[in-house]
Amino acid sequence: MNVKYLIIGQGLAGSLLAFELLKRGDDFLLMDDAEKSASSRVALGGFTAVYGKRMVANEEMNNFISIAQETYAEIENSIQQKVFFKHHTYQSFATETEKNEFDTYSVNQSLNDIINLHPEEQAYIRNELGAYEIQISGRLDCLSLIMGITKLLKNKNKYREETFMHNQLIGNGDGGWNYKNMHFENIIFCEGYKNIDNPFFNWLPFAPSRGVVLDIKAPLLGQNKILKKGITLIPADQGMFKAGSTYEREDLSPQSDAAGRKTLEKQLSAMLNCTYEIVKQKSGIRPGTKDRNPVLGSHPDHPSMYIFNGLGSRGVILAPYFALLLCDFMQKHQEISKKYSVQRFLKDKK
């Protein structure tokens, strides 16, 4: 078996990359271990055009969003299922500090197209300190997207549910790779936080964080908006919301989830003025890097070995753009700017 690309991992990174290669008519195989708690499978799936306490909104972000919208529409068309939804985000201030930061950072920017300073009050949201609304935002049903892409790839014989064993990968002397009885010209690792177990790329400075998410049922809440107050509520089907999430950077073990859940419960009761029921708890590990930017490109010693990772807490909006960029890098030698390239971390390689 001789294949041009082997992709390892099918979270958002691997899914978007596989879809881009499909579009280009390329020959590839994707291997994924289908871990239920993979970051992409538990993610809330939300995005906004303005992020962080510094209210960052810029041309680059607009570009990420427009490519994401275009790509998710193409995926919906291919998998015959709606997975990408636009919603306004009603953001109620959780603390005085948050309100002051908003006043400081929003004042000097022209955010008029993005932010409505006088949103309609939301019933059942406690709103002591005021609120604003982000008008360019939405959500991706990440799990449905992944399952849809898996099905698509299975139908084309391009998917294997299998754990890839790094110690069985052997360079074949002509720049390609042998794995078991297969031959690949290139290999692309999209392994999320499990990159720590990858002997070729584990020197990259990752800063993973564990997050807990709750599925809640709150039938009284309107479902046309994303609701935020310390915690984010993302509407799902039939009165259900995904509520989250926490950031645990020290203890990445499941033992830390109990404390995460407590934090979310506290935030929910500070936010909601209606009854709700917690139905399920999930958790996963975000693959963030030290400088919070994605990392992609080829291995410094192995030009036919690539990585696509570091999507951190913004995989929904970043994955489509960077999948495209990586394909152009591999196939057209288009440059990846140092801000996002493996190159920026070469000093960390022993």
Ligand X SMILES: Cc1cc2nc3c(=O)[nH]c(=O)nc-3n(C[C@H](O)[C@H](O)[C@H](O)COP(=O)(O)OP(=O)(O)OC[C@H]3O[C@@H](n4cnc5c(N)ncnc54)[C@H](O)[C@@H]3O)c2cc1C
- Give the residues lining the site for ligand X (CB under 6 A): 8-14, 31-33, 35, 38-40, 42-47, 163-164, 190-194, 211, 213, 244-245, 284, 286-287, 309, 311-317
Q: Please identify, using beta-carbon distances, which residue of 55 and 213 lies nearer to ligand X.
A: 213
What one-character DSSP code corresponds to residue 180? T
Token digits of residue 298: 């080829």
Distance (Å, rounded) from C-alpha 138 to C-alpha 57?
A: 15
The vertex-159 CA angle with 157 and 160, nearest 5°, equals 120
Cβ neighbours of 348 (radius 10 Å): 10
Distance (Å, rounded) from C-alpha 28 to C-alpha 46?
A: 30
Distance (Å, rounded) from C-alpha 235 to C-alpha 277?
A: 14
What one-character DSSP code corresponds to residue 242? E
Distance (Å, rounded) from C-alpha 117 to C-alpha 111?
A: 10
Q: Please identify, using beta-carbon distances, which residue of 21 and 44 lies nearer to ligand X.
A: 44
The answer to whether 272 and 248 have CB atoms below 8 angstroms apart is: no
Cβ at position 96, least distance to ligand X in Å: 25
Cβ at position 321, least distance to ligand X in Å: 12
Cβ at position 42, least distance to ligand X in Å: 5
Cβ at position 128, least distance to ligand X in Å: 25
Helix residue ranges per DSSP H, 111-171: 142-155
Q: Please identify, using beta-carbon distances, which residue of 93 and 179 lies nearer to ligand X.
A: 179
Cβ at position 317, least distance to ligand X in Å: 6
Q: Please identify, using beta-carbon distances, which residue of 129 and 252 lies nearer to ligand X.
A: 252
Cα 66 to chain centroid, rounded: 16
Q: Please identify, using beta-carbon distances, which residue of 129 and 263 lies nearer to ligand X.
A: 263
Cβ at position 107, least distance to ligand X in Å: 27
Q: Please identify, using beta-carbon distances, which residue of 37 and 100 lies nearer to ligand X.
A: 37
